[in-house]
Amino acid sequence: MNETNAAGTAAPVGDPARDSSVSGDAAHSVEGAPFTEGAPLGATVTVEVPASSGNVGPGFDSLGLALGHYDTVRVTRIAGGLEFDLTGEGADAIPRTPDQLVLRAMQAAYDAAGAGELPPVRLEAHNAIPHGRGMGSSASAVVAGVLAANALLPARSRLSPDEVLQVCSRLEGHPDNVAPTLTGGLTVSWEEAGHFHSTPVEVHPDVVPVVAVPDFEVATAVARGLLPDSVAHRTAAVNAGRAALLVAAVGGRPELLLPATFDLLHQPYRAQAMAPSAALVQALREQGHAALISGAGPTVLTLANGQEEAGRAAAAVREIVDDAASPAHSHQGEPVGWRVLTLHVPREGAKVSVSTQ
């Protein structure tokens, strides 16, 4: 199952012979000497994993963008049982059982490698990525778990970058969040004959993401359930053109971000589940900002052309949501609290470090 190098032996994680930007090879970096025969007691793997935005603009289920906002997961081999130290966003609601998502992802990686049961571990996680907001929190947990497990495995059993992408995508159901989480930047992903593929697009340095995160959640399943079974051919054609334009805009023509982020395929149908977010997107776009719903929402992502425009976009968000007369101000009769963050698009995805200390 594992790819081999020219000598016929399994190449370790991070081997340049296996890390590639071509379709399906989700590269990631590993610091520290990899464990050759599996991790000894006391060995620790730390994964710093970025947030992400899926469905970017017109790129439904295909375009994903890494966001410079990070969870940190640390896994330590222990003698027996499971131990937890979970802090940050959503920590109180996270189960302290083998059903915890990072642990499920770790076991999935062990299953894919034919390595049996996950050994006893202590899981420490500090979550900065909001849950249920369309910033890829579940994808980040999945990626962190798969990469941590992969680093614990003996070198001969370790999954290739493509196998990592397959395991992560199957757990998430699609690759548009896990791919940028693995590689950084913008990614274009697709499925062919049951196999997931992704290729990165270099992001122009002037593209600056500004996120407005509301204090209410929208379940991805609810948002997806609002989508129609079919759309008009004209709608599909418009979206295909704008998705192609978005790749060009993010890659080298950020002045085109406003028309490139226009969408007819998913955001209009989901608006009823996140009326304040939809209202904020509309108001920002009317002011000339390239605003969109991040993932399945309800976070609003604005792609600004440079830091100066990012500052104007952040100020515009605050002005709109502070206006009591704005539909973005309240949700179900209660005022909405919004957090506004100016981020960056990381050029690298999840980072893994290993230690025996």
Q: DSSP secondary-structure letter at 56?
A: -
> Residues annotated in the binding site, as ranges?
130-140
Q: CB of 299 within 8 A of CB of 135?
A: yes
Q: CB of 17 within 8 A of CB of 5?
A: yes
Note the pLDDT of residue 92.
Answer: 86
Residue 220 has pLDDT above 50, yes or no: yes
Instruction: Read off the pLDDT of each residue in 323-341 and give the average, rounded to a whole number.
Output: 94
Both structure tokens of 223? 């948002």
Instruction: Read off the pLDDT of each residue in 330-344 and give the average, rounded to a whole number.
Output: 94
Q: Let me know the angle formed at the C-alpha of 303 by 302 and 307, rounded to the nearest 5 degrees.
A: 105
Between residues 290 and 20, which one has the greater pLDDT?
290
Q: CB of 199 within 8 A of CB of 63?
A: no
Give the largest CA-CA distance in the chain: 68
Residue 4 has pLDDT above 80, yes or no: no
Taking domain 29-200+347-355, whether its CATH number is 3.30.230.10 is answered by: yes
Share of the chain above pLDDT 70, in %: 90
Q: Where are the alpha helices (DSSP H) in 272-346?
A: 275-286, 307-322
Q: What is the pLDDT of residues 272-326, one digit of tens each?
A: 999 999 999 999 999 999 999 999 999 999 999 999 999 999 999 999 999 999 9
Neighbour tally for 220: CB within 10 Å: 17
Instruction: Read off the pLDDT of each residue in 247-259 and give the average, rounded to a whole number.
Output: 98
Note the pLDDT of residue 37.
Answer: 72
- Which amino acid is it at 323? D
Q: How far apart are CA 158 and CA 231, in angstroms?
A: 43
Q: How far apart are CA 129 and CA 142, in angstroms?
A: 13
100's CB contacts (< 8 A; 6+ apart) are 84, 94, 123
Q: Rounded to whole angstroms, what are the CA distances from 181 to 18, 38, 161, 283?
A: 18, 25, 13, 29
From start to end of the chain, where are the E strands?
Answer: 29-31, 44-54, 63-77, 82-88, 121-127, 186-192, 195-201, 207-214, 291-293, 300-305, 330-331, 334-335, 338-342, 351-355
Instruction: Read off the pLDDT of each residue in 100-116 and give the average, rounded to a whole number.
Output: 97
Note the pLDDT of residue 34.
Answer: 65
Note the pLDDT of residue 31.
Answer: 73
> Residues annotated in the binding site for ATP, as ranges?
130-140
Note the pLDDT of residue 8.
Answer: 28
Q: Which of 34-48, 207-221, 258-272, 319-333 has the lowest mean pLDDT?
A: 34-48
Note the pLDDT of residue 356.
Answer: 83
Where are the chain's structural domains?
29-200+347-355, 207-342
Note the pLDDT of residue 3.
Answer: 30
3-state helix, strand, coil in the chain (%, to 5): 35, 25, 40
207-342 — its CATH code? 3.30.70.890
pLDDT-derived band of residue 112, with 50, 70 and 90 as boundaries? very high
Both structure tokens of 191? 């499925």
Note the pLDDT of residue 33.
Answer: 57
Instruction: Read off the pLDDT of each residue in 198-205 and give the average, rounded to a whole number.
Output: 96
Residue 20 has pLDDT above 70, yes or no: no
Q: Which of 37-46, 56-65, 242-251 has the lowest mean pLDDT?
A: 37-46
Residue 29 has pLDDT above 70, yes or no: no
Between residues 1 and 96, which one has the greater pLDDT?
96
Q: Which of 51-60, 221-230, 259-268 has the lowest mean pLDDT?
A: 221-230
Q: How far apart are CA 17 and CA 11, in angstroms?
A: 8
Residue 250 has pLDDT above 90, yes or no: yes
Enter the pTM of the model. Answer: 0.90
